[in-house]
Amino acid sequence: MAKPTALSGFPEFLPAERFVEQQVIASLAQTFELHGFANLETRAVEPMDQLLAKGETSKEVYVLKRLQDSGDGDSGMGLHFDLTVPFARFILENSGKLDFPFRRYQIQKVWRGERPQAGRFREFTQADIDVVGRDTLGFHHDVEVARVMAEALGGLEFLPGFRIQVNNRKLIQGFYAGLGAGDPMKVMRLVDKLDKLPVAKVGELLQSDAGLSAEQAEQTLALAQISASDTSFVEAVRALGVTHELLDEGLIELAAVIEGCSSITDDRIRVVADLSIARGLDYYTGTVFETRLDGYESLGSICSGGRYDSLATDGRTTYPGVGISFGVSRALVPLIQQGVVRADRSVPSAVLVALTNDEGRTQAEAIAQQLRAGGTPTEVAPKADKFGKQIAYADKRGIPYVLFVTENGPEIKDIRSGEQFPIAPATWAPPPADLRPTIVSTASQENK
């Protein structure tokens, strides 16, 4: 076939780039498991009626069709566009076999059947954590998911700093209701446009579209401008003079999340109350989260979520949950494409065993196997080329060591320093820092 070209919206990585993604996923998984989250993987497809239940994304679904479809039941399936809808379905399907509260993490690809256009992913990876209860779920889990995700993102050392912005639906809905707004949801959706439209424009829309008075619109915008890294936001909201029972509840909950995250000491991580955050999707009922990456604000929120008190229900039992989803591809693809992060090798190998001649392959393989048994990724040269060419083979791939079988036995050359020394393959291993590829990052310099 002719040389194929990349498909817009379906990012793929070269080996040294994929290594970064692998490490990110392994690091996230490790943090999630330290906090007792069990891994799940759900199938890629869901019935279309499930996928269409949430109106907003219905036009972005990929529908599946068997090539030889004869109308025998496969129609009506589509690829999932997030990990929440499949998880809610999984909970209902397996509720009798799960123990609640149920903590799970899920790191998988999702698909959006978008029109091909620059910057839009049609296939991408998300990493979700959720805690789900049966009938009830303690509020402290809202604090838990925020802390766990902050710790997980903090563990990605090459990431620039980030800001987790927390708000609470009860707080803002209560405020709008206390203000006398006729349609609090409408107000909320207009406030959600603050990161796309100028403040004055949103103020106009609040009057023209949501029927607020000039003073009510002003109060609404004043609320959205409150932001604090401690619980001082409570005073600031009170100072606006609006009262409502739901507002009180929301203030207590939001203060508890901020308070609960105050013991995080990593100075790359800031958890702030930001009263402009609303989240477009309708199902959130309390805490809501968004996250901005320092220096990459144009990416939008890379990590979002919240509390949903009735996402899953089978009519008799309701499963309330709280969760947060990190857009692995959204954060990683730009960093990798801009060359901000990459691995220093294109192969896992730490050692290349050189070949003196073709007859030496059996012995070279035996030595390689001894190194592997000690945990050192090792490959044997493909050909008994001149040693200079074999060293160039290692150098090109970033393999730090070349082993030669000499008259005096096996010797290792560190091709960075040129140093060469005898070793016993059964016991030698490279220093830990050389054992696996390392992620090289310029993010910290560029963004400080």
272-331: contacts with a copy of itself (CB under 8 A):
313-315
Q: By CB under 8 A, is residue 13 in contact with a copy of itself? A: yes
| Cβ atoms of residues 223 and 172 within 8 Å | yes
Kindly indicate which of the ranges 7-15, 179-187, 224-232, 245-253 contains the residues binding a copy of itself, using the contact rule CB under 8 A.
Answer: 7-15
| Cβ atoms of residues 221 and 239 within 8 Å | no
* DSSP structure string for 288-319: EEEEEETT-GGG--SEEEEEEEEEEE-SS-EE
Give the nearer residue to a copy of itself in terms of CB position, either 104 or 292: 104
- Which of 20, 78, 156, 162 is in the footprint of a copy of itself by CB under 8 A? 78
Q: By CB under 8 A, is residue 41 in contact with a copy of itself? A: yes
| Cβ atoms of residues 167 and 362 within 8 Å | no
CB of 277 to a copy of itself, least distance (A): 25
* Subset of 245-274 contacting a copy of itself (CB under 8 A): 263
Give the nearer residue to a copy of itself in terms of CB position, either 365 or 446: 365
d(CA 202, CA 418): 65
C-alpha pair distances (Å), 45 with each of 51, 347, 364: 9, 33, 47
Q: By CB under 8 A, is residue 119 in contact with a copy of itself? A: no
Q: By CB under 8 A, is residue 76 in contact with a copy of itself? A: no
370 conformational bin, left if phi > 0, alpha if psi -120 to 50, beta if neither:
alpha
CB of 122 to a copy of itself, least distance (A): 8
Backbone angles phi, psi at 312, to 5 degrees: -115, 130
- SS3 call for 254: helix
Single-letter residue type at 83: L
Distance between alpha carbon 277 and the CA centroid of its chain, in Å?
Answer: 19
Backbone angles phi, psi at 7, to 5 degrees: -95, 125
Q: Where are the beta strands (DSSP E) in 90-148?
A: 102-111, 123-132
Give the nearer residue to a copy of itself in terms of CB position, either 168 or 349: 349
* Subset of 378-417 contacting a copy of itself (CB under 8 A): 378-379, 382-383, 393, 396-397
Kindly indicate which of the ranges 67-75, 154-162, 163-171, 207-215 contains the residues binding a copy of itself, using the contact rule CB under 8 A.
Answer: 67-75
Give the nearer residue to a copy of itself in terms of CB position, either 375 or 422: 375
Burial class (CB in 10 A: 0-12, 13-18, 19+), 18: middle
Give the nearer residue to a copy of itself in terms of CB position, either 24 or 210: 24
Q: By CB under 8 A, is residue 14 in contact with a copy of itself? A: yes
- Which of 27, 54, 60, 155 is in the footprint of a copy of itself by CB under 8 A? 60
H/E stretch holding 46 reads strand 45-47
Kindly indicate which of the ranges 133-141, 155-163, 270-278, 401-409 contains the residues binding a copy of itself, using the contact rule CB under 8 A.
Answer: 133-141
| Cβ atoms of residues 274 and 165 within 8 Å | yes
- SS3 call for 107: strand
CB of 50 to a copy of itself, least distance (A): 7
Residues β-bridged to residue 321: 132, 308
Give the nearer residue to a copy of itself in terms of CB position, either 296 or 428: 428
Kindly indicate which of the ranges 60-68, 213-221, 289-297, 419-427 contains the residues binding a copy of itself, using the contact rule CB under 8 A.
Answer: 60-68
* Subset of 345-374 contacting a copy of itself (CB under 8 A): 346-349, 361, 366, 372
Q: By CB under 8 A, is residue 155 in contact with a copy of itself? A: no
Token output for 215: 């003073």
Residues β-bridged to residue 153: none
CB of 18 to a copy of itself, least distance (A): 6
- Which of 20, 28, 79, 336 is in the footprint of a copy of itself by CB under 8 A? 79
Cβ of 324: how many Cβ atoms within 10 Å? 25
CB of 115 to a copy of itself, least distance (A): 6
398 conformational bin, left if phi > 0, alpha if psi -120 to 50, beta if neither:
left
CB of 287 to a copy of itself, least distance (A): 17
CB of 204 to a copy of itself, least distance (A): 31
- Which of 27, 54, 64, 189 is in the footprint of a copy of itself by CB under 8 A? 64
- Which of 2, 200, 424, 433 is in the footprint of a copy of itself by CB under 8 A? 2
Residues β-bridged to residue 151: none
Q: By CB under 8 A, is residue 36 in contact with a copy of itself? A: yes
| Cβ atoms of residues 323 and 131 within 8 Å | yes
Length in residues, the chain: 448
Q: By CB under 8 A, is residue 18 in contact with a copy of itself? A: yes
